[in-house]
Amino acid sequence: RGIQRNITEFYRST
């Protein structure tokens, strides 16, 4: 149920 978001959408790469 629902669309799984990706963790990389939330935090920027360092």
Q: Which residues lie near another protein (CB under 8 A)? A: 1-14
Q: In the bound complex, what is the minimum distance in angstroms from residue 2's beta carbon to another protein? A: 4
Give the nearest distance from C-beta 9 to another protein in angstroms: 7
Q: CA–CA separation, 10 vs 4, rounded Å?
A: 13
Shortest approach of another protein to residue 1 CB, angstroms?
5
Taking the CB of residue 7, how many other CB atoms lie within 10 A of it?
Answer: 6
CA–CA separation, 5 and 10 (whole Å): 9
